Each structure stands twice: as C-alpha cells, then as structure tokens.
Structure 1
C-alpha cells in the first residue's frame, strides 16, 4: 500500500490496476468508521462543512474517486464495478472489515454496488439523492461528448450548479456555491466523462432487492437530477429500507445541513 502524502491530512494508496486513490481519516480511533462517497465532479472536500459534527460520533474515511480530487485520472470510460472495487481495495489496504457507508449521488450508486456485491463490508447504509438507474443512454452520450470538448468546463460547471443548488442560493453568489463551482472546475474532464460512462451503463433496479443491510434512503423534493421517485423506487426495492424526503435540491448535506445530519446520525447510531 502506498502511503505518500497528497495534501495536508490526505494519504493515498494504489489500486490493483495501478491507480493512486487519495483518502483521509478524521476522528477518534475508537469510534465506528463512516465512509463518505461524493457526488460526481467533486472531491472529498464536499463533506468539509459536515465533518466536524460527524466526527463527534464517527471516525470519518473520505476518498476521491479516480479522475477526481487528489486521485489519478486514467483514460477511458470507468465501470461501476471498477469504482466499487476501488472501495473494496481501499478497505482491504486499511485492514477495515466493516463500515457504515454514506453515499450521495454517484456515491450512493457506488454504495449500492458495495451493498450488493460486498455486503459483508457494510454495517448500515445511507443512500442520499441517488438512483438505481438513470436513463436514457443518449443523455449520457451527449454529456460525455460535451465535457470532452476543449474549454467546456465553465459551461459544465454552471450546469452542475443549476442542478445542485436552488436559485435562491445561486443568485446570492453564495460562498458554498462558489466553493462547489471551484471543485467542478478543478476536476479533470476525463474523470467526469469516465464516471458518467459508469452511470450510463448501470442498472440496479432488480439487484438492489438483494441489499440486506439496514438502509436509509434520502431524497430531495426539488432534486432535478435524482428525482423523488428515484428515491421512492429504491426504498420500495430494498427490503426494510426507510425513506426521508427533504425539501431540497440535490445536495441536502449543504442546503439543509442540520436536518440531513440529524437524520443520518439518528439512523446510523440506532441500536
């Protein structure tokens, strides 16, 4: 395992296919580990605003997808299987047997894969603003082609801001919105395109029924990306899953932080 420093507080390990993945630990060693997985086109810094409150109860493990943040950016499309195995290899490298897993958006897709194909590594599961399938294929082909065009990132970043935040936050030049815009602009186009290919090819509408971990599904009432009905379908498919719908767009951890953290913490700490 590689343990070189990437930026303050961050380490990295190398996957079986030679890709360096950045990760970071925070919190006391005696607390249960909570693995956080991000939205596409962001880094582990997506959780910066929530980290302090979460470390009151958990030891946080954050990481950057391949193609994002401090991780390497291999060429070509990525598969959901590869994104999931990156997590398995990370846990193996750190000798962690089981974690709570909170995934938002693409992070929720990776979390579903983990709960289906490596359920022994998951204790409790939180799937926020995510889906078991997002079509049609043509939509993703168009986005992949667009992001790989030269000088496309400012327009791509604006698209993400409109999808992620309500107009009230965008109009005020909110510092949180600008920090997320900066994260998108810092993400390599190939990393976004490769991850969109994984979303394009994934369909867990039937296999999600195999998830047997205690699961909380969180949906956003005004989410234009993963619609409330995507969350409802997940909650109906996963046996025993709970569903909470918050009055937010795509990033409830930012837009309605206290309610989001209360729901997550109560569920994960429930005996």
Structure 2
C-alpha cells in the first residue's frame, strides 16, 4: 500500500512517517497501536480479520490478548471507546473496520515543506525523524540530532527514536554525543519506528540498513560508533566499506555472540541457560525473568530502574521480534572479518561488564589492526548517567575523534 496522509475529523494520519496528529499536535501512540491504526485506515474499504491485524503489528497469530490492549489504546487515541465506535468498528467475530469519513489530500510522501532539509544549526535543539528504504524494501527510521561533523551510531538492542531522548537509560547518551557534532542514529529493522514485519535479521540485512541511512543523510565518510551488539555490525560495516568509515569506536562490544564463542560444555550450557531465561521473559512477560535480563545491562541500577528498563523494552518491539533478536545476536560472528578493518579503532569496555565479559574486548583489540583498548572501572554494560565511567568514556571518544 503506497503511503499517504489521511484526514478524518480533527485527525491527520501520516502512514509513511507513522505519525498521528490532532489539531496539528502529535498524538503519542506506541508502535503497535500505530501499526494497527495505519493498517485499518489503509484497508478501510473492508473488514480486516484479527489475524491479519496481528501480522501487521508484528505479533503472533494467536496473541489476541495483546491485540485487545493495542486496540483499546488506538480507540482512545482517536476519540472512540469500547462502546463509542465512530472511527473503528468491531464487526461481530469477523474483525474490525475503519468507518470514519476520510479524505486523502496526498497519495504520495508528505510535501517537501513538511520535512525541511537540514541546515547548519537548525537541528541543535530538536531532532528530525525521517525514513529510508533498505535494499529489500524494509522501512528504516533514522534521526539526526545536533549539528557539526557527523557521528553515526549503529542500532543496538533495543531502541525507539521517538522515546529514547526522554528515557533515563539513553537520554545522557544523546546529550553527550551531540557536543559539537551531528548524531545520526536509527531504529533496527523489527523495532522502534522501523518496519516490524520483516523476513529476516541477517548481518547482510543490517549492513544494508546502515547503508540506506547514511545514503539518505548524504554521508560519504564518517566516524562510526557501535554499542553492544551494534559493535559487531559496526565492525562488519567498517570491514566491507573501508572508504566510508574514518574512525571506529566500539563500546561494550563483541565479535562473537555467546553461543558462538562458547568453547566447552560448561560455557555452552551457560549460554543456553542465559538465552532460555531471556526467552522465558519475553514469551511470558514475567517480571522476574525480565528483571534478571535488565540487571545484566545495568548492573548497578536499582530494581525500580530495572523495571523501567523492562517497560521501555516492551514498547520497542513485539515479543516475537524480541525472541528473533535474541537468537540472531547469540549467533552473530564477525571475527573472520575484523582483521579487514583499516581505520583507526577505539575499543572501550567496562572491566566488570555483566553482559559481555571483558575478554570480548580483548579479542576485538587482538583482531582489529591499529586498535587501542581502554578499560574503565564499571560493572554496567550500558554506562549510566551517574556512572563515573561515563564522562571518562566521552573524553576518550572526543579525543580520539579529534586526532
């Protein structure tokens, strides 16, 4: 279905940018609810079956409980309720239909005046979200923040462009990484504002996604930052695109996923147990499993902060996609191409990283020529705002980029 801007009553729905507005003001909706609304509006000429809606939202065909929650959120967002159905109508046991009178003033992408081209300094105090298309047609959401020389950050577990800048675990990253620079970041395929319904998450796809973003921004050569599993993507990209990457910065990164790097039965068992705990948490949404998972990312956080991290993750992707990510990243392996990285490389890692052992940083430093390794005193996989390692990391990053 081609993109369009739809008007109904006081509302405007931009299906390409996944944005709902009322009287010109954005109505905040989680990605699943927006996907549901877009699908209903685009197929308003018929009743949409429940299973089709679940597929559009990236959910399992049997997950009707989740659908009920997202549908209720969508109803309230457009002024409906369970009993007042002027826009979205339940049609017996057949499904749902969008019934509000709708006009389509633009059947193409929004006019250029709606998305102004970036100018120097124009985006220092806010960010602009746009979309690119990867090689297989997957829509990738990306954002540019600040101004100055570019710094591209690969996607990592898990992000949502529209929520990250107000999320305590990420907010300080954007404040820190935009000091005199323009930060370019994007949501991985399968999460955030990018397409959730995608055929696969192979490494080649992730490289194509990054290509689509930097091409859309118009970058020829740039420094690249990879965090956590985004570091593996950054290593592979720098190896394949040496003409584009000027500097490579890796933090909390690894070359081989836990299932690949396991060298004996004990390590293989530990990797499988870790993956099974994460699987159980994502399948059941049971807080105790998810809290354990969160504690590996934020070892020094409080239980309340772990719960906030868990709640944030639930907003970024579907349980089905969460499981796919976990399994793909457990098997990722860029150790065979790391020695092809030809640009200067900075590797920063917490000595007591609870998620990715420091041995993985040592392996990266051994594999990548012209790399330097800095170990910081921290237990956090993702440096928090009050972690003493955080300002030290920024100092090393900016000194490295200024060379």
Please indicate the TM-score interval, normalised by the length of the shorter structure.
0.7 to 0.9
Q: Structure 1 residues 129 and 27, CA, compared in 2 at 3 Å: closer, same or farther?
A: same
Once the 2 structures are TM-superposed, how far is the Cα of residue 156 of structure 1 from its aligned partner?
A: 5.2
- In structure 1, what is the equivalent of residue 383 of structure 2? 252
Query: Quick one: distance in 1 between partners of 2:216 and 2:128?
Result: 18
Aligned CA RMSD, in angstroms, stands at 2.6
- Determine helix, strand or coil for the equivalent of 1:12: strand
Q: CA deviation at 1:60?
A: 0.7
> What's 2:34 paired with?
none
* Paired residues of 1:108 and 1:130 also in contact (CA < 8 A): yes
Q: 1:62-85, CA deviations, whole angstroms, 9 ceiling, x for partnerless residues?
A: 111011211111255411111111
Tell me the TM-score normalized by structure 2.
Answer: 0.59
User: Which stretch shifts more, 112-121 or 4-13?
Assistant: 4-13
Q: For the Cα contact (< 8 Å) 1:147–1:192, is it kept in 2?
A: no
1:204 CA drift (Å): 2.0
Partners of 1:6 and 1:12 within 8 A in 2: no
Query: Any idea what the Cα deviations from partners look like across 1:17-57, whole Å, max 9, x if unmatched?
Result: 222211111112xx211012343133342642132332222
Structure 1 residue 74 and structure 2 residue 197: aligned? Answer: yes
- Aligned 8 A contact 1:208 1:238 in 2: yes
Farther-moved stretch of structure 1 (72-81 vs 260-269): 72-81
Name the SS for the 1:252 alignment partner: coil
How many residues were matched structurally?
262
Check if 1:56 corresponds to 2:179: yes
- TM-score, normalization by structure 1: 0.85
Over alpha carbons, which structure has the higher Rg?
2
**Aligned structure 1 segments of 4 or more residues deviating by more than 6 angstroms:** none
CA distance in 2, matches of 1:235, 1:212: 13
Against the structure 1 CA distance between its residues 21 and 179, is the aligned structure 2 distance closer, same or farther, given a 3 Å change threshold? farther
Structure 1 segment 6-155 matched on structure 2, within 5 A: 6=18, 9-28=128-147, 31-44=148-161, 45=164, 47-75=170-198, 77-136=200-259, 139=271, 142=276, 146=280, 149=283, 151-152=284-285, 154-155=287-288
* 2:132–2:212 CA contact under 8 A, matched in 1: no
Q: Contact 1:77/1:197 (CA < 8 Å) preserved in 2?
A: no
Out of 394, 397, 400, which is 1:261 matched to?
394
* Whole-Å separation in 2 of the counterparts to 1:153 and 1:107: 26
Preserved contact between residue 252 and residue 349 of structure 2 (Cα < 8 Å): yes
Residues 100 and 124 of structure 1 are in contact (CA less than 8 Å); yes or no, is this contact kept in structure 2?
A: yes
* SS at 1:160 equivalent: helix
Q: Say if 1:197 and 1:242 are closer, same or farther in 2 by CA, change over 3 A.
A: same
Q: Answer with 152-161 or 104-113: which moved more.
A: 152-161
Consecutive unaligned residues of structure 1, counting only runs of 5 or more, are: none
Gaps of 5+ in 2: 4-13, 20-126, 261-267
**Structure having greater relative contact order (Cα 8 Å, sep ≥ 6):** 1
